[in-house]
Structure 1
Amino acid sequence: MKVLVAPLDWGLGHATRCVPVIREFLNQGAEVELAVVRSNAALLREFFPDLRQRLAPSYNIVYPKHGYNMGLWLVKNGVHLRTVMNYEHRFSEEMVQRYHYDVLVSDNRFGFYSRNAKSIYMTHQRRIAFPKVLSAFEPLGMLWHASVMKHFDEVWVPDLPETPGYAGSLSHVKTCPVPVKYVGALSRFEGENLTAKSDVRYRFVAVVSGVEPARTRFENLLRKTLVKIPGRHAIILGKPSLGVKSSNEQNLDLFTHLPDNQFAAVVKNAEWVVSRGGYSTVMDMAVLGARCIFVPTPGQYEQVILGRDLAREGFAATIDESKFSTETLIAAVSEKARVALPKPEDDNKLLKDAVYASIHSRFSSH
């Protein structure tokens, strides 16, 4: 049984949430290979140094600076998107024909399917999020996404089957043109033996992530804010290319990057975690049992929706970047003192069952 897994290259979150999927296929005896682009190849090689990588087409996404522009990007760049989708579909058909894959797993790669292999499409955003000024496009967005999903045999949703789950209204949609399986929270920390301990109990641990220039802007905002708050704080800068280095600035401990074991130890020993609100981050924090304050990335309206839904359910706090300050951070902590993300199931039986079924069932024709 040969499996080819292909995460989308819009940031690294799609690659990290594929880690438990890849592990589970390997655990169940499948031969797994990876379809990568240059931006996520190194990360996946760090987790799976022995797995063969195939270079896949890149979407070459540049994130807008302002929230309303993301929907406009989708409208303006429809031709580019269709071109990439057609190219990656030809690529996937060629891969199946040349290397005889039995299963393709596409994490939000819209054209990564084949008529000659069981094709699985993984997404938590069954409802594409549009800001209010573009809300008229939402029904069209859902129709378009349904037209994408109909080319696949199954849709896997990385969320809990019970509403609201982690993705709330984004993942829990009534209709779908193909069978849907909820596969639980997908985190690179799930099932790992995280033995490292942190010697310091931090009041706030901030995790910097994302693409430039938003990444550096967020880092500077965190430095300026946390240095004014009493207590010891840590900022994980998310710069793995610089190696694992640490430094101190007043009451801040700065880490360029932390291996998963140490990252988990620091997060689990924090009173609060401040981070962007990407969906992979939400699932990681749920697995680690963190109390979170999410600051959505401007231009990624999906993060705004996630943060809003999680705050409404009492699972987390959220602050707009434009309003992020010492005062709003302290107010959020005081208001949301008892927040907690839902705890995932211990062994993720949902994912195990989905992988087992995909290995042992025949694919349908598209």
Structure 2
Amino acid sequence: MKILFGVLDWGLGHATRDIPLIEGLLGIGHSVDIISNGRALKILKEKFGGRCNYYDISGLYVPQMYSSYFILACAMNLHKMAASILKSRKKINKIIKNGKYNWIISDNRFELYDRPSNSIMIIHTLNFNSHLLKYPITKLMEFITKPYGILIVPDFPKKGIAGIMGQNKNILNKEVHYIGVLSQIRKKHYKKNIDYFISLSGPEPQRTILENKLIKQCHKLKGNIVIAGANPDVNQTKTIGKNIKLYSFLNVQYQEEMMNRAKFIITRSGFTTTANMIELGKKRALLIPMPGQPEQEFLADLYERKKYFHHVHQDDINLEKDIKVAMKGFRGFRPQWRTKRSVKKFLKII
């Protein structure tokens, strides 16, 4: 079958979680064309090379996040966001018309769909448990998912990674499949010789703001420290002081190695980022939600309440203090199954 697969470029999380799905499709003989842009497209090209065809098309316009008022920034830029989707949709219509695809699969590319009978959306946010945002965001999710006949949720149907955020009983007249955790990382046996692994992710400028803040505080920590910058636009490795090594970017292979070697992980509370830790069975971690990003703030609070992982807000980071808290009383998230089985569930749907 011929498949058009769209990937959102907002950080690297959507691209990395789609890697095992695309690998699975190619592995059983399907033809896959990829629509993405920016850093997401770059790592997908590096991963799949000539095995796929690629379309560089910008998706949803996202305001730059210098402050915690992300929702307000989006409200003030609705006209730009709508215009970006319409512009992208015109280009995509031509691709779909000429491509004669059996399936259209969209990971949060809201403008990528054909008919409900052949359009699939991969999405983990179907609801929002916030007194202020619950109704508008829930209704927005219902509107966004309307063109798709099938929804694939990379979560568990009960006791899920995203809690209530992955559930919405008001989404009717379509198939909803919970396939389980998705991660490009695999658990492997390495010697645990990295005391702290800091994995930075997410859109700019907040990625760089957090990087600079953490580097200043890392000097107070004892042990072997590795920082992965999640910036594929730069290929740079440097040593900071006696015990800190900074990589501007780690490919999947080296990211997997570092996470397996790590005794403690410091990272964002993004859905895919935490899915990587869940895949590996990690228990010791400090999560730092992106300021003004409701999903990350919700997940960080959820994991704190459930005693999965400790979190701290970006403006309040005190690494020495926060790590001590995170070391006590948190048990991690135990998945019902792992990515290998999730991919099998996905391929059965296709």
Q: 1:176 aligned to 2:171?
A: yes
Deviation of 1:3 after TM superposition, in Å, equals 0.4
- Could you tell me which amino acid in structure 2 is paired with residue 54 of structure 1? Y
Q: d(CA) in 1 for partners of 2:42 and 2:303?
A: 32
Q: CA 1:147/1:241 → structure 2, altered by over 3 Å: closer, same or farther?
A: closer
Q: Which of residues 186, 207, 220 is equivalent to 2:212?
A: 220
Deviation of 1:117 after TM superposition, in Å, equals 6.1
Residues 287, 344 of structure 1: 8 Å contact kept: no
Deviation of 1:161 after TM superposition, in Å, equals 1.6
Residues 96, 117 of structure 1: 8 Å contact kept: no
Q: CA 1:221/1:33 → structure 2, altered by over 3 Å: closer, same or farther?
A: same
Q: Which of residues 256, 261, 264 is equivalent to 1:272?
A: 264
Structure 2 unaligned regions, length at least 5: none
- Could you tell me which amino acid in structure 2 is paired with residue 77 of structure 1? N
- Superposed CA deviations along residues 191-220 of structure 1, whole A, max 9, x for unmatched, are x8x57x45x612211112233332222122
Q: 1:305 aligned to 2:298?
A: yes
Deviation of 1:221 after TM superposition, in Å, equals 1.9
Q: CA 1:3/1:213 → structure 2, altered by over 3 Å: closer, same or farther?
A: same
Deviation of 1:273 after TM superposition, in Å, equals 0.1
TM-score, normalization: structure 1?
Answer: 0.86
Deviation of 1:98 after TM superposition, in Å, equals 0.3
- Superposed CA deviations along residues 260-316 of structure 1, whole A, max 9, x for unmatched, are 223222222222100111111111121223232111111212111111111211211
Deviation of 1:129 after TM superposition, in Å, equals 6.9
Structure 1 unaligned regions, length at least 5: 359-366
Q: Which of residues 248, 251, 256 is equivalent to 2:248?
A: 256
**Which residue of structure 2 aligns with residue 363 of structure 1?**
none
Deviation of 1:48 after TM superposition, in Å, equals 0.7
Q: CA 1:185/1:244 → structure 2, altered by over 3 Å: closer, same or farther?
A: farther
Moved over 6 A (4+): none
Q: 1:58 aligned to 2:59?
A: yes
Q: 1:321 aligned to 2:317?
A: no
Q: d(CA) in 2 for partners of 1:46 and 1:206?
A: 23
Q: Which of residues 135, 138, 142 is equivalent to 2:138?
A: 142
Residues 102, 117 of structure 1: 8 Å contact kept: no
Give secondary structure in 2 for the equivalent of 1:241. Answer: coil
Deviation of 1:169 after TM superposition, in Å, equals 1.9
Q: d(CA) in 2 for partners of 1:36 and 1:13?
A: 13
Q: d(CA) in 2 for partners of 1:334 and 1:353?
A: 35
- Superposed CA deviations along residues 56-93 of structure 1, whole A, max 9, x for unmatched, are 233232332233x2222332233333333333344333
Summarize the alignment of residues 151-170 of structure 1 with structure 2, pairs less than 5 Å apart.
151-163=147-159, 165-170=160-165
Q: Percent identity?
A: 24
Give secondary structure in 2 for the equivalent of 1:105. Answer: strand
Q: d(CA) in 2 for partners of 1:273 and 1:204?
A: 6
- Superposed CA deviations along residues 21-65 of structure 1, whole A, max 9, x for unmatched, are 111211232111101223322111011101110222332323322
- Superposed CA deviations along residues 230-283 of structure 1, whole A, max 9, x for unmatched, are 222222223333336342413323333333223222222222100111111111
| Stretch moving more, 281-290 or 89-98 | 89-98
Q: 1:333 aligned to 2:326?
A: yes
Summarize the alignment of residues 80-229 of structure 1 with structure 2, pairs less than 5 Å apart.
80-115=80-115, 118-128=118-128, 135-163=131-159, 165-177=160-172, 178-190=174-186, 197=190, 201-229=193-221
Give secondary structure in 2 for the equivalent of 1:202. Answer: coil
- Superposed CA deviations along residues 324-351 of structure 1, whole A, max 9, x for unmatched, are 1134323323434x42222362454343
| Stretch moving more, 108-117 or 181-190 | 108-117
Residues 315, 339 of structure 1: 8 Å contact kept: yes
Residues 129, 301 of structure 1: 8 Å contact kept: no
Q: Which of residues 218, 227, 233 is equivalent to 1:235?
A: 227
Q: d(CA) in 2 for partners of 1:258 and 1:137?
A: 35
Q: d(CA) in 2 for partners of 1:223 and 1:80?
A: 35
Give secondary structure in 1 for the equivalent of 2:233. Answer: helix
Residues 61, 81 of structure 2: 8 Å contact kept: no
**Which residue of structure 1 aligns with residue 237 of structure 2?**
245
| Stretch moving more, 29-38 or 107-116 | 107-116
- Superposed CA deviations along residues 337-366 of structure 1, whole A, max 9, x for unmatched, are x422223624543432332232xxxxxxxx
| Stretch moving more, 272-281 or 177-186 | 177-186
Give secondary structure in 2 for the equivalent of 1:23. Answer: helix
- Could you tell me which amino acid in structure 2 is paired with residue 159 of structure 1? D
State the number of aligned residues. Answer: 347
